[in-house]
């Protein structure tokens, strides 16, 4: 009996040892090439097959090919106004771009170039939209700063042809000085029917909806906050449980504490990680695809940083300090954009 028990214990220990996951970086080198150089500041990117669509300053939008050197550049103006586009989203047939500031104007652009339509406008002193996403080809959502007692949220259920502003009766009330940042089109994350929004400023919180924005819950976070330019600037969710958020204090760009946090319960509870290590203020964070939620990449004034252990430790992988936003084309290819450029980082 003792011999059998010993054998069972030995088998259990061997099994546990085999199942223990080795945590390490999934690449050793990074190669960089430039896909676009232009007089533009880009804070909104979306990957669409073999193209990366973008929108930015000077009323500009367009795409770059990920297969060859082809590009397309467009300009959208209205009554001599040259809007600053900070949000972009896509369906199978159309690209949507939304500017920050008033008048807010949302454009639906056919991918084949046949039409550009204005599908939503909003005028007001405090109108400022930050981020936009589509759940599928019919349902979409965009969010922005409060114009009343809640964050501004608009939704569509007809493929972006029409948009409706959600009543503050449905949304949680904002705290005094709570708003959002149009840093990288990553204030808003959607997966399935789930929606997460992040706010910043004097109060920085996580908003969650399980039904595409029909009902909402809100949760406090431990990220640095309390001043106008502090809080969450970007977030990403790997699945319905694991999420990560970054930001900091824009007035103290080098401060690398209180600026990165993780959740493993869908946003209800958050834990600060990587305290006093890695980057300072960051404008965008994304999970590496197919990494089990372990690997992350950020961009901001400190450069491009990578973590393979859910944000506990960080390594600088590229020195460019002028990047605002990034997206993964696949688990080895990062498309990043910022001041005057779009670049590609290959993780080898």
Which residue ranges form the domains of the chain, and what is each CATH number? 30-347 (2.130.10.10)
Query: Exposure of 1 by Cβ count < 10 A (0-12 exposed, 13-18 middle, 19+ buried)?
Result: exposed
Whether 71 and 61 have beta carbons less than 8 Å apart is answered as no
Q: What is the pLDDT of residue 341?
A: 99
pLDDT of residue 165: 98
pLDDT value, residue 20: 52
Q: Which residues of 287-309 are buried (b: 16+ CB within 10 A; e: fewer)?
A: bbeeeebbbbbbbbbbbbbbbbe
Return the closest-CA partner of residue 193 out of 224, 165, 171, 215.
215
CA distance 116 to 261: 40
pLDDT band at 5 (very low <50, low <70, confident <90, very high): very low
- Sign of the Cα torsion 228, 272, 267, 325 reads positive
Which of 91, 81, 89 shows the shortest CA–CA distance to 106?
A: 89
Least confident of 28-37, 73-82, 262-271, 337-346: 73-82
Please give the structure tokens belonging to residue 26. Answer: 């999934």
Averaged pLDDT for residues 169-189: 98
Where does residue 193 fall: left (phi above 0), alpha (psi -120 to 50 degrees), or beta otherwise?
alpha
Beta strand 323-330 with 333-347 is antiparallel
pLDDT for 295: 99
Lowest-confidence pick of 1-15, 87-101, 116-130: 1-15
**Quick one: pLDDT band at residue 21, thresholds 50, 70, 90?**
low
Residue 143 confidence (pLDDT) above 50: yes
- Structure confidence at residue 77 as a pLDDT band (50, 70, 90): confident
Half-sphere exposure of 291 (CA within 13 A, CB side): 28
Residue 276 gets the label, from left (phi > 0), alpha (psi -120 to 50) or beta, of: left
Listed residue (278, 293, 281, 199) closest to 237, CA to CA: 293
Please check the confidence at residue 168 and state whether its pLDDT lies above 90: yes
Instruction: Tell me what the pLDDT averaged over the chain comes to.
Output: 94
Residue 179 predicted with pLDDT over 50: yes
Q: What is the pLDDT of residue 114?
A: 85
**216 band by pLDDT with thresholds 50, 70 and 90:** very high
| Mean pLDDT within 296-325 | 99
311: pLDDT confidence band, cut at 50, 70 and 90?
A: very high
Mean pLDDT of 236-244: 99
- pLDDT band at residue 274 using 50, 70 and 90 as cut-offs: very high
- Residue 6: pLDDT above 60? no
Confirm if 230 and 257 have CB atoms less than 8 A apart.
Answer: no
The residue that leads in pLDDT, 192 or 81, is 192
Confidence of residue 55 (pLDDT cuts 50, 70, 90): very high
Report helix, strand or coil for 209: strand
pLDDT of 102 higher than 60: yes
pLDDT band for position 81 (50/70/90)?
Answer: confident
Q: Is the pLDDT of residue 7 over 60?
A: no
Tokens 């109060």, residue located: 203
> What global pTM score does this model have?
0.93
Percent of the chain's residues with pLDDT above 90: 91
3-state secondary structure of 4: helix
């Amino acid at each position: 009996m003792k011999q059998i028990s010993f054998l069972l214990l030995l088998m259990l220990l061997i099994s546990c040892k085999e199942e223990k996951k080795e945590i390490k970086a999934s690449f050793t080198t990074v190669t960089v090439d430039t896909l676009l150089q232009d007089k533009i500041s880009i804070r909104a990117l979306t990957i669409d097959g073999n193209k990366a669509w973008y929108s930015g300053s000077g009323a500009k939008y367009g795409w770059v090919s990920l297969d060859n050197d082809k590009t397309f550049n467009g300009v959208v103006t209205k009554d001599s106004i040259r809007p600053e586009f900070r949000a972009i989203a896509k369906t199978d047939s159309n690209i949507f771009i939304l500017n920050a500031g008033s008048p807010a104007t949302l454009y639906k652009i056919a991918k084949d170039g046949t039409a550009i339509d204005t599908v939503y406008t909003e005028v007001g002193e405090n109108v400022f939209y930050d981020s936009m996403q589509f759940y599928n080809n019919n349902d979409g959502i965009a969010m922005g700063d409060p114009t009343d007692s809640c964050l501004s949220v608009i939704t569509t259920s007809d493929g972006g042809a029409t948009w409706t502003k959600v009543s503050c009766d449905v949304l949680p009330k904002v705290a005094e000085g709570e708003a959002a940042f149009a840093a990288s089109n990553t204030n808003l994350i959607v997966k399935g029917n789930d929606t997460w929004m992040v706010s910043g400023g004097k109060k920085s919180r996580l908003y969650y909806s399980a039904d595409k924005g029909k009902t909402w819950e809100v949760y406090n976070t431990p990220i640095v906050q309390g001043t106008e330019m502090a809080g969450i600037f970007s977030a990403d969710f790997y699945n319905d449980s694991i999420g990560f958020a970054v930001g900091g204090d824009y007035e103290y760009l080098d401060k690398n504490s209180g600026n990165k946090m993780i959740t493993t319960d869908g946003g209800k509870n958050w834990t600060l990680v990587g305290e006093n290590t890695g980057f300072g203020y960051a404008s965008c964070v994304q999970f590496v695809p197919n990494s089990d939620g372990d690997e992350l990449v950020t961009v901001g004034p400190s450069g491009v940083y990578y973590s393979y252990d859910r944000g506990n430790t960080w390594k600088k992988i590229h020195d460019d300090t002028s990047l605002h936003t990034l997206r993964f084309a696949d688990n080895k290819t990062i498309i990043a954009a910022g001041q005057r450029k779009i670049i590609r980082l290959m993780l080898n």
